[in-house]
Amino acid sequence: MMTREERPSRRERPAKPALTRDGIVRAALAIAGADGLEKVTMRRVAEQLDTGAASLYVYVRNTADLHAAMLDEILAEVDLSPATAAGPWRQRLAEVMTSYSLVLFASPALARSALVSRPSGPNYLNLIECLLTLLRAGGVPDDQAAWGVDLLMLFATGIAAEHGTRSGRADADGEHNAMVSAVRGADTARYPEIARLGDALLSGAGPDRLAWGFQAVIAGIAATPR
Amino acid sequence: MMTREERPSRRERPAKPALTRDGIVRAALAIAGADGLEKVTMRRVAEQLDTGAASLYVYVRNTADLHAAMLDEILAEVDLSPATAAGPWRQRLAEVMTSYSLVLFASPALARSALVSRPSGPNYLNLIECLLTLLRAGGVPDDQAAWGVDLLMLFATGIAAEHGTRSGRADADGEHNAMVSAVRGADTARYPEIARLGDALLSGAGPDRLAWGFQAVIAGIAATPR
DNA sequence: ACCTGAACACCGTTCAAGT
DNA sequence: ACCTGAACACCGTTCAAGT
C-alpha cells in the first residue's frame, strides 16, 4: 500500500510559483495575446504573477528587456529546417522567411517592437545564421549576403508590423488614413499615380505579396555587386 | 508726422502666441531635437507653449496624431526635384530615396515612429507620388511598382531607424547586443556564419550601404514579375 | 539573494466650468 | 469656440526595509 500523503501540512491552494525570468516572459506573452502589447506593463505582469512590480526587476532589466525576451521567445517557433533540406536555395530561403513572417503575423505588436529595437536573443541569432547559410549555399558573395540579410528581415518584419496596424485596434478606431482617401477620393488631381494604382498600393499582407517581396529582395541581393 | 502709437494699453511683454496646430508641431519638433522624442509629451509641449495639456486637444487628436504631424512636417524637406530632372531613372529614384534617408537620419526617433505607424500626411503622399512617377518612367509594371514603393520605403526608413538606435542613447547605455558579442566573441562555434562575416553584418548606415540597398531593391522590383 | 511596500516623478485623456 | 484646472486612471523605476 502507498504511504500516507507526504507533506500534509501543505496548504490547499498550490503555493504561488517561484518567480523566474521564463515565468515572467510567459505571463507577459499571455497578457499581450489577450489584451495587446500596450497592456504588458510591469505592474500588470506583476499582478498576474501575484507580486509587486518591483520584484520583476530581479529578472528583467527594464521594459525594453522584457519586450526583447518576449520576441525571442516566439522566434523559437520559426522553422529553420529548410536550411538543411534539399531543393533550390532560393525556395528554401523563402520558406524560412515565410515561417518567420507567419510567427510575427500572430504577434504584430511584437513585430513593431522588432522594427524599433533589433532583437538579439539566441533564437534571433539562429535565424540569422540560417539565412546566411542559405545565401552562402546559393553562392551569394559574403558582402552582399551580410547586407542582404538585413533587407530580408526588414521586409518581412515590416509587412508583419503593417498587418498588425491594419487589422488591429488602430483601424477599428477609424484612423484617418490619408492614403486610403487619396486612393479612392477627391485627390485624383493632386496624386494621379497614387489614384491610378489605387487598391494595388493598399493590398495588404497576403501571401502573394510576401512571396513576391522575398523573390524580389533575393533577386536584388544576388544580382547587385558591392 | 506719425500718429501716436496705436493700442498703447498693450502690455510690455508680447502676448503669448495664439495656439495653432502648426505652432504645436513646431514646439514638439524643438523638444524632440533637444531632448529626444520620448520627451515629447502632451504636458511638456503644453508647458513650452505656456498652457495646459488639455488645451492641445483642440488641435491634436492624441499623441499618435502629434507624432504623425511631426513626421510629415520634416518630410517637407525631402528633395523631389529629381523626379522631373534629366538622367537615368534608376539614379534619379536613388537620389530621391537618398534625400528621404538624409532627412530621417537627422530625426532617427521619428524614423522609428514612421516604421510603426505608416505616415499619411500630404508630404508623405507627395513622396510616394514621386516614387511611383519615377518607377513608371522606368517602365516598371504597375503592380510591381505598387508593392515596390513599399519595399524602398521600408528599407530607407529601417536603416535610418537603426542608425538612430545605434548612435542614440541606447548604445551609450552599453546595451548588451548579442549580435555584437556573437560576431566578435566566444560563439564562433555556435554561429559560424555570423562569426565569419563579422563586422560586415554590423557595418552600419554608411552611404555605401544605403546606395547598395537602393540599387538592389530597385533591381529586384524591376526584375521580378508578379 | 530575493521580495516587498511605499514613494518619486511622471504619463494621456476627459470633463465641467469658465471666457 | 477655445481654454483651463482639476481629476482619473494609470505608468517605470528606485530604495530602504524586511526575510
Over the stretch A163-209, which tens digit does the pLDDT of each residue have?
765 444 444 444 567 777 877 776 888 999 999 998 888 876 678 99
Is any atom of strand C within 7 angstroms of residue A52's beta carbon? yes
Would you place residue B175 in the very low, low, confident or very high pLDDT band (cuts 50, 70, 90)? low
Confidence label for B15 from pLDDT (cuts 50, 70 and 90)? low
Helices (H), B117-141: 122-137
- In this predicted structure, the answer to whether residue B125 has a pLDDT above a threshold of 50 is yes
Residue B128 or B162, more confident: B128
Residues 58-77 of B with CB under 7 A from strand C: 62-64
The answer to whether B220 faces chain A, any CB pair under 8 Å, is yes
Angle at A212 between CA B194 and CA B108, to 5 degrees: 55
Q: Is the C-beta atom of B118 closer than 7 angstroms to strand C?
A: no
Taking a C-beta distance cutoff of 8 angstroms, is the pair A209, B147 a contact? yes
DSSP structural state of residue A204: -
Closest residue by Cα to residue A106 from A69, A34, A28, A160: A160
The C-alpha atoms of residue A125 and residue A101 are separated, in whole angstroms, by 16
Instruction: Return all residues near B133 (Cβ < 8 A) that are at least 6 apart.
Output: A193, B83
B172 vs B42 pLDDT, higher one: B42
Closest by CA position to B154, among listed A217, A138, A96: A217
Taking only the tens place, the pLDDT of each residue in B184-209 is: 776 888 999 999 998 888 876 678 99
User: Model-level pTM?
Assistant: 0.89
Residues of chain A with pLDDT > 70, as a percent, come to 86
Nucleic strand D within 7 A of Cβ A197: no
CA dihedral sign of residues B170, B174, B180, B182: negative
Q: How far is the CA of A59 from the C1' of D16 (A)?
A: 20
Closest in A149, A158, A201 to B154, CB measured: A158
Tell if A170 CB is < 7 Å from nucleic strand C: no
Kindly state the greatest CA–CA separation across chain A: 89
Interface list for A 137-176 with B (CB within 8 A) = 142-151, 154-155, 158, 161-162, 165, 170, 176
Q: Is A178 on the interface with B (CB under 8 A)?
A: yes
Find where cell 506573452 sits: A29
Q: How many CB pairs under 8 A join A and B?
A: 170
Has residue A39 got a pLDDT over 70? yes
| CA–CA distance, B19 with B11 (Å, rounded to integer) | 19
Three-state DSSP class for residue A133: helix
Per-residue pLDDT at A99: 98
Which chain A positions have a beta carbon within 8 Å of B118's beta carbon? 162, 165, 179
User: Alpha carbon of B165 to those of A78, A121, A122, B178: distances in Å?
Assistant: 26, 17, 20, 15
